[in-house]
Structure 1
Amino acid sequence: MPTDDRSTDTPAAQPADAGTPADTPSADPTPSADTVTPEHRPPAGASAAMTWAPDGHDPLTVTATAGWTVLRREESPAAEVFAVAYTLDGADPGERPVTFVFNGGPGASSAFLHVGAIGPRRIVVPEDGSLPAMPVRLTDNDASWLPWTDLVFVDPVGTGFSRPVPAKDGEENGKDTKAGDPGYYSFASDLAALREFTSRWLSANGRWASPVWLAGESYGGYRIGRLARSLPVDEGVGLSGVVLISPAMELAPLTMTDYSVEGFVDVVPTMAAAALHHGRIRGVDDAAGVEEVMAAATSFAATDYVTFLAQGAAMAPERRAAVLSRLADLTGLDPALVERLHGRIPIDRFVRELLRDDQQVIGLYDATQTVVDPFPDREPFGGAEHTLHGMTAAFTMGANQVIRGEIGVTTERQYHLLSMAVNKAWRADEDAHALESPGGATDDLRYGLAVNPHLQVLVVHGRHDLVTALHTSQRLVNQMRLDPTAAGRVRLRAYDGGHMFYTLGHSRSAFTADVAELYGVTSPG
């Protein structure tokens, strides 16, 4: 795995005076604490006082600070990482935790968690979690974690306002520019950048005495599993706990082929939950709830169905027919279709087929959400995935309202909510064998739990997320071979909704209550 080749003798960059023109170097040539090298300064940041006072909560006064930290490679500035920090005024930094928050993708900014779930302000969405009317509005977030922790929302390189620093005079500055990658678009280099940012932020803000927590969503959950091991080892940052939100801890289940097993097994319970929600499930008690249905589907998937997938043509015809019939009933699909697919149902096919007779497509990221199929005669669905990309405008507008409008950052840069350029440029690490798959995060999380007997872990999912399915994490936790002490420090929770379950008010509230319990808070308000 590539080592972190940054220089360690330079303090972290701090936001410059808010009056400095955006995206231009400071006119003051004198090196100071906020410079990385005399010839390079990041754009000007901004800071603002903010009062968080949702109904039913005691008001809190926090300072919101937004700005760029410069990362270095081989003594040269290589990237400017943008982050927004909310710190409670007057709090004891030795007692007050600080939580670093990021999303996944790869290529996603932190805006989903920033203005959707955890930050002091969130976008207003309908009660059913569907797309709000534009322009999106903001409100004080009654489910924010601010009552018990400071928050730092981090945009990895290439996302949000974070950018690589262009090389000068043709020099590479220690960066690999192959395939559009400035040296940060791979598994190990991405983790190295997040570690560097974390330690620089702690140093620059005098927070090495604070309890440190991590929270990440989707591929951000993968990042957190890996950081649970490498952040203490490589940066000396001890962790109090981690929150993995709709995580992709292992990458293999995300790929479904005619020869794979795990991915197909893991999504059956979620498909059953979707079929129940839309009234298409068969062969279950009419009074059965979603948890009962998912438990039955999990039992089927982990026994008869996994045996069917593993045996293939070796399974006896009568038993094969019984398995396919049960699979069709649980998923709500036409038995003839399940037969044609040989019992392997890709999730993108499932979302087109479940409600095809109503000309509706359900969501990959939230199977409770539907959209009219504009091209029912075509394959595949003729547009962006509506439960993720359909929310792009809402989260982008919300992030810009907070960062530019409320905190006061002035920049001509576009806020990249989801960068497909970063996603497409992502690659395996150079020192890996040609046939070696990227390492998963579960082993690193196991290691972190073993060497840190105080580490607390919370893994959370939406029941209707087909992309990072609940059963995947249930299976992985059961396969981690944890001793009773470590197992007691791992919590797994599920809520109504999908990948971004926190768009549902009751799920967001339940999530926040579980996080407060994890942090040891008895009165979240």
Structure 2
Amino acid sequence: MADETEPTKVAEQKKPLEPLPAAASKQYVWKSPKGDEIHYTATAEMVPVRADDGQLMGHMFMFSQVSDDADKSDRPVTFCWNGGPGGASYMVNIGGMGALRVKTDGMAHLKGVGEVEDNPDSLLPSSDLVFIDAFGTGYSHVDPNYDAKKVWGVDGDADAFTRGIIEWLTEHGRFNSPLYLYGESYGTMRNAVVYRLLGEHGVGVTGVVEQSTILDYAPTLSGNDAYYMGMVPVYAATANYFGKAGQGVDQYQWYDKAFDFVNSTLAGALVLGDELPDDRMDEIAGQMSELIGLSKDFIKSKGLRIELDTFRKSLLADEGKTTGRYDTRFSTYGYPDVQGDNEFFAGEDPSYDAINAAYLDVYMKLLGDMGFKGYENYVGLSMKVNESWNWNHQAPGTMGAPQTPNVAYDIATALRRNPTSRILFFGGIHDAATPYWNVRHDMGKLFLPQALKDRIEYHVHSNGHMLYCDQVALEAAGPELAAFYEKRHED
């Protein structure tokens, strides 16, 4: 008699990506301008990341530069990444903190064939370095049998990076080394959550470097007053650079003047909205015009609220040019207005176009010279990841999980739990992507005790979003980073 029981349904398993690229290593010698040398080994590898139940989440591409010195008892290891979300880590590597870098040329557009040199301002003298690509970027990939939605979000991404770091520490025998996190842009938001999660996994963090920081996403919402307040100092610095305002005044003095204007004058005016008396509106618009180089009547017509795209199109309009977003000192030829061009224009950025091809081409050649053969396409910036991002995040001590995350609470929680750790914030006066005013505002609302505030330091430089694209800023930041790492010996 035939078996009439229902056949067991087996979930279809997708085949994994095969084969994984084999790890590749090569020895180098880094030389400083003074003749100092560091012998180090660069390794490119795919590191498995697993969930608590052992399921493979995927493989993260990690590029490390590790000193060949046998004594690693006091040698830090720093995990570095860019942001996006959806950005790989090649820029913070070959652009700024790695042992090798692409030479920049001020605000000029680099040729596709980049010139490479030992990076005199690399973090390598202070720390071993591990550059990590987020899932779905670079060569990192989510396993086909794992749901990518679980890692493409504020919390899932931080969890994956935490697991990836622990796996690298395990494979390379580096537990109990001083551990640092270095993030840029969205990577600073990732830093805040990973900082907390590593502590919850019993892994101590010695220091966190936040370059071009965003902690609270509320200012990205339409009409948020903090957005307009944060932009004004950047506008002022940009107008000063192009000779449209503050001629003959030091760039930092002009930036600070605008910073103070926001705190003392503009903030209260924006809160009043259309209840601000006309004579007061006229007065404040005049002060703002002096600072940012746009006419008083134009600023009044906007209710003191100047959008970034409006500023970028307006400041150099008489020259037929627009400014950058990541770094507002970069400029390009303006686009004619066409129907529906706002979204297109917002995504156009000469400060990104000027460097991206040179950086990525050099990085690919570096990996090839090491013998690492990745997949067909290295995804420098994935819009698929960016547009799929889950922004829900429940900060410690709060109710619910809003879609406008504020990880300032995470970084404060992590510091309270680990009061021997330190945090360094880098800001750039020409950064219109993550304005420095907002960082100070967000941290000021935490009301940390003085003992913890003493563990935090802030440094502002001439750069835009990418510190490493500005040679002057990079040279100034180098000693500050070295001193920050040495402070681990003070406690």
**Which residue number in structure 2 is paired with residue 106 of structure 1?**
85
Among 502, 509, 512, the residue aligned to 2:478 = 512
Structure with more helix by fraction: 2
Q: In structure 2, which of residues 39, 58, 73 is the aligned counterpart of residue 94 of structure 1? A: 73
Give the CA deviation at 1:376: 5.8
Aligned-residue sequence identity (percent) comes to: 27
Does the residue aligned with 2:486 lie in a helix, a strand or coil? coil
Alignment partner of 1:307 is 2:268:
yes
2:94 is aligned to 115
Match of 2:374 among 403, 411, 428: 411
2 CA distance for matches of 1:318 and 1:521?
52
Q: Report the CA distance between 1:412 and its aligned residue.
A: 3.2
Q: 1:397 to 1:338 in 2, by over 3 A?
A: same
Partner of 2:3: none
Pick one of 134, 149, 156 that aligns with 1:189: 156
TM-score where L is the length of structure 2: 0.90
Unpaired segments of 5 or more residues in structure 1? Answer: 1-22, 26-41, 168-172, 176-180
SS in 2 for 1:192: helix
Q: Provide the aligned C-alpha RMSD in A.
A: 2.1
The yes-or-no answer on 1:202 pairing with 2:169 is yes
Alpha-carbon distance in 2 for matches of 1:457, 1:465: 20
Please report how far the alpha carbon of residue 343 of structure 1 lies from its aligned counterpart in structure 2 after TM superposition.
1.4
Residue identity matched to 1:105: G
Letter in 2 for 1:459: F
| 2:10 corresponds to | none
Q: Deviations over 1:371-403 (max 9, x none)?
A: 111436774365732212443212211221222
How many residues end up aligned between the 2 structures? 465
Mapping for residues 288-437 of structure 1, pairs under 5 Å: 288-375=249-336, 379-380=341-342, 384-405=348-369, 407-429=370-392, 436-437=402-403
Whole-angstrom distance in 1 between the partners of 2:320 and 2:90: 32
1:152 and 2:116 correspond: no
- Matches of 2:269 and 2:126 in 1, distance apart? 48
Match among 453, 476, 487 for residue 487 of structure 1: 453
Please, which of 181, 185, 195 is the counterpart of residue 214 of structure 1? 181
Task: Give the secondary structure class of the aligned counterpart of 1:51.
Answer: strand
In structure 1, what residue type is equivalent to 2:379? H
Cα distance per residue 1:117-145 (max 9 Å; x no partner): 1101101111x143212211211111111
Distance change in 2, residues 1:516/1:229 (3 Å): same
Question: In structure 1, what is the equivalent of residue 6 of structure 2?
Answer: none
SS of residue matched to 1:215: strand
Secondary structure, aligned partner of 1:43:
coil
2:120 aligned partner: 142
What is the deviation of 1:287? 3.6
Give the distance between the partners of 1:358 and 1:411, measured in 2 at CA: 45
- 1:33-44 equivalence runs, <5 A: 42-44=20-22
User: 1:159-200, CA deviations, whole angstroms, 9 ceiling, x for partnerless residues?
Assistant: 111111212xxxxx4x2xxxxx44211111000000000111
Name the amino acid aligned to 2:118.
D
How many Å apart are 1:486 and its aligned residue?
A: 1.3
For 1:57 and 1:494, how far apart are their aligned partners in 2? 29
The residue type paired with residue 159 of structure 2 is A
- Give, in angstroms, the shift of residue 72 of structure 1: 2.5
Provide the rounded CA distance (Å) in 2 between the counterparts of 1:300 and 1:411.
51
Gaps spanning 5+ residues in structure 2: where?
Answer: 1-16
User: Is the contact made by 1:94 and 1:207 (CA closer than 8 Å) also made in structure 2?
Assistant: no
SS class of match (1:243): strand
Structure 2 counterpart of 1:300, which letter?
Answer: F
Query: Helix, strand or coil: the match of 2:350?
Result: coil
Deviation at 1:294, TM superposition (A): 1.6
* Structure 1 residue 349 displacement after superposition: 1.3
**Take 2:84 and 2:455, find their aligned partners in 1: how far apart are those partners?**
27
| Alpha carbons of structure 1 residues 305 and 213: separation in structure 2 relative to 1, 3 Å | same
**Alignment check: 8 A CA contact 1:78 1:165 kept:** yes
